[in-house]
Amino acid sequence: MARDLNGHPVATGGLQRLFGRLRGGSGAASEPVPGDSDLVVVAECFDDTAAASTVLADSAWRESDQAVLRHLLEIPSDQIDAVADTAAQDGYEVVDAGDIDGPTAEPGPGMTRVALARTQLVDALHCSQERSRMAGLGARHDGTVLGWQVLQRPVA
């Protein structure tokens, strides 16, 4: 099922699915989900001062395609469950942070890197809103946000 700019499911009618298949899409089965091994990073930013609009404009991101928006946070190890529970209220799930080629410094003592991701359409405004939401989540749990990534399926 397709997702909107806020990650909420959007129902598609039978005709929309049929036209999508005729255009070469494979329907609902083609929606990326967090943790898909075939997704590639099409945009990323580990600089708090960079505008999402600039990062997205200079990237391989495809505006009309569904994507996975992934945020990398560094939080105290004892706060992982609380952060995951809060993020889950907005459709985020914890995914493996081991493959993220972001900041290279190791987490500080007692800190853990956590990646939170959800499927949604991405645009600069909503990406910025989610960055802000993650910054607040990190700060409430004595952590920090390291960066964000947009992942999509590679172009065939």
pLDDT, tens only, 123-142? 999 999 999 999 999 999 99
Query: In the predicted model, is pLDDT for residue 31 greater than 90?
Result: no
CATH 3.30.70.970 for domain 31-152: yes
* Domain extents in the chain: 31-152
pLDDT for position 5: 62
pTM score: 0.82
CB neighbour class for 47 (10 Å; exposed up to 12, middle 13-18, buried from 19) = exposed
pLDDT for position 19: 57
Reported for 23-27, long-range contacts at CB under 8 A and 24+ positions apart, including other chains, are none
Query: In the predicted model, is pLDDT for residue 21 greater than 80?
Result: no
Q: pLDDT grade, residue 26 (50/70/90)?
A: very low
